[in-house]
């Protein structure tokens, strides 16, 4: 009898996800079968389920790219893994390994990359497939729900901060202090930067201060730009924009220091005006930053394992995924929601627990 698993499935764009029984996948060459313990819910999962982006996934598919779990099956041609190892499966599911981007340590730009929860089924399921060469290694005693957001939100902001090229002792402004931003504040402090937090919500500003931000300002205030310039003695050396509102992008170009870099993580639809004169005369760099490489991921995980970065999480059962999406759409999530797959299993499929390794 084929073993099945519970999964949240996008059957058509814009429709609620369906909780289905799917066959447990079989790991192919170079692949691992992972029993999912926890999977964070990212805005990208919403965009995937709605079919918002120009390159669309093909329903039916399983979203989820902040997957943390244990190896329960190992395909052919895999070295260095054993049953029971703890791993993370990130947005970068795998890449070609041969193109100019892959061979120069920029596998995140590989045109042939495949993405978890998008072009490959993701972690909103009891089991998921990882590519052994691209999985993130986690310590055996890791807290899966706590580490899950690090696998996307963590590595994305960590890489974004590196991309600003701000050096220890210098100022970084983090614009947007939600799911990404509250993690970014902690990475920036752990990396020795001085941190300004900007948001329009007072509770998010307070959270940033409690996480170590040196100063926070209300981004909707007409004085916000002057306040950042004043507090930093001439502007922030680096700016990381995680906000999903376009005015935040224009604002960043005005409070970045001369010679500074504005790195963009947030993905609101549309464009923002770029003042050419300022960008040229102040030698401002505007740089997109997308997730992180395998090396970035290992570093991002190391900060979290040392307790220097901790996502503010709430857990939910897999069956509640549509409620979680509604909360995300309404902007009601502070921090990150993580689907706890052990919760779903306990409630609904406990009777399968004993034979869950049967097919591997």
Between 133 and 206, CB nearer to Zn ion: 133
Please state the closest distance from residue 213 (CB atom) to Zn ion, in A. 23
Question: What is the layout of strands, in order, in the sheet containing 236-241?
Answer: 215-218, 194-199, 171-175, 236-241, 256-264, 285-288
Please state the closest distance from residue 106 (CB atom) to Zn ion, in A. 9
Single out the residue of 10, 44, 90, 328 in contact with Zn ion (rule: CB under 5 A): 44
Give the footprint of Zn ion on residues 116-175 (CB under 5 A): 152
**Helix/strand/coil for 87:** strand
Please state the closest distance from residue 112 (CB atom) to Zn ion, in A. 5
Between 99 and 244, CB nearer to Zn ion: 99
Whether the Cβ atoms of residue 126 and residue 341 lie closer than 8 Å to each other: yes
Between 64 and 260, CB nearer to Zn ion: 64
Between 48 and 142, CB nearer to Zn ion: 48
Between 251 and 293, CB nearer to Zn ion: 293
Q: Residue count at the site for Zn ion (CB under 5 A)?
A: 8
Between 97 and 192, CB nearer to Zn ion: 97
Q: Which stretch binds Zn ion (CB under 5 A): 88-96, 142-150, 191-199, 247-255?
A: 88-96
Please state the closest distance from residue 292 (CB atom) to Zn ion, in A. 11
Rounded-to-integer distance, Cα 175 and Cα 276, Å: 21
Single out the residue of 17, 19, 33, 42 in contact with Zn ion (rule: CB under 5 A): 42
Rounded-to-integer distance, Cα 92 and Cα 140, Å: 22
Between 99 and 279, CB nearer to Zn ion: 99
Please state the closest distance from residue 353 (CB atom) to Zn ion, in A. 29
Alpha helices in 4-103 (DSSP H): 43-50
Of 131, 95, 121, 107, the closest CA to residue 39 belongs to 121
Please state the closest distance from residue 32 (CB atom) to Zn ion, in A. 21
Give the footprint of Zn ion on residues 97-126 (CB under 5 A): 99, 102, 110
Between 31 and 94, CB nearer to Zn ion: 94
Single out the residue of 8, 9, 68, 95 in contact with Zn ion (rule: CB under 5 A): 95
Residue 96 sits in the site that holds Zn ion (CB under 5 A)? yes
Count CB atoms within 10 A of the CB of residue 260. Answer: 27
Residue 236 sits in the site that holds Zn ion (CB under 5 A)? no
Please state the closest distance from residue 45 (CB atom) to Zn ion, in A. 7
Of 330, 297, 53, the closest CA to residue 159 belongs to 297
Residue 267 sits in the site that holds Zn ion (CB under 5 A)? no
Please state the closest distance from residue 166 (CB atom) to Zn ion, in A. 23
Between 42 and 188, CB nearer to Zn ion: 42
Of 84, 77, 68, 55, the closest CA to residue 130 belongs to 68
Please state the closest distance from residue 66 (CB atom) to Zn ion, in A. 6
DSSP 124-186: SBSEEEEETTTPEEE-TT--HHHHGGGGTHHHHHHHHHHHHTPPTTSEEEEE--STTHHHHHH
Whether the Cβ atoms of residue 122 and residue 64 lie closer than 8 Å to each other: yes
Rounded-to-integer distance, Cα 360 and Cα 356, Å: 9
Strand partners, 94: 114
Rounded-to-integer distance, Cα 132 and Cα 116, Å: 13
Tally of CA atoms within 13 A in the half-sphere of 29 that contains its CB:
1
What is the pattern of x (binds Zn ion, CB under 5 A) and - over residues 17-36? --------------------
The residues that touch Zn ion, with contacts defined as CB under 5 A, are: 42, 44, 95-96, 99, 102, 110, 152
């Amino acid at each position: 009898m084929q073993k099945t698993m519970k999964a949240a499935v996008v059957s058509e764009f814009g429709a609620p996800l369906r909780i289905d029984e799917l066959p447990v996948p079989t790991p192919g060459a170079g692949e691992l079968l992972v029993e999912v313990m926890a999977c964070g819910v990212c805005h990208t999962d919403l965009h995937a389920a709605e079919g918002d982006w120009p390159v669309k996934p093909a329903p039916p598919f399983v979203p989820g790219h902040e997957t943390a779990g244990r190896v329960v099956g190992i395909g052919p041609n895999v070295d260095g893994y054993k049953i029971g190892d703890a791993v993370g499966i990130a947005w970068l599911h795998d890449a070609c390994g041969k193109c100019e981007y892959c061979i120069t340590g920029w596998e995140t730009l590989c045109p042939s990359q495949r993405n978890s929860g998008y072009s490959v089924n993701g972690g909103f399921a009891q089991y998921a497939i990882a590519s052994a060469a691209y999985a993130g290694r986690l310590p055996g005693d890791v807290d899966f729900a706590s580490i899950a957001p690090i696998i996307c939100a963590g590595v994305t902001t960590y890489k974004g901060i590196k991309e600003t090229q701000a050096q220890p002792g210098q100022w970084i402004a983090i614009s947007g202090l939600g799911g990404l931003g509250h993690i970014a504040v902690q990475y920036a402090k752990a990396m020795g930067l001085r941190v300004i937090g900007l948001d329009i919500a007072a509770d998010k500003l307070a959270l940033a201060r409690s996480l170590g931000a040196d100063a926070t300002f209300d981004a909707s205030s007409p004085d916000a730009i002057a306040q950042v310039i004043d507090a930093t003695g001439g502007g922030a050396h680096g700016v990381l924009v995680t906000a999903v509102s376009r005015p935040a992008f224009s604002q960043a170009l005005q409070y970045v220091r001369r010679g500074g870099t504005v790195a963009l993580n947030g993905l609101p639809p549309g464009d923002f005006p770029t003042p050419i004169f300022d960008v040229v005369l102040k030698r401002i760099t505007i740089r997109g930053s997308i997730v992180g490489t395998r090396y970035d991921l290992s570093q991002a995980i190391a900060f979290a394992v040392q307790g220097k970065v901790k996502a503010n999480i709430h857990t939910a059962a897999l069956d509640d995924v549509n409620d979680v999406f509604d909360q995300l759409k309404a902007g009601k999530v502070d921090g990150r929601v993580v689907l706890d797959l052990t919760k779903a299993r306990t409630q609904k499929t406990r009777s399968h627990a004993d034979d869950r390794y049967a097919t591997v």
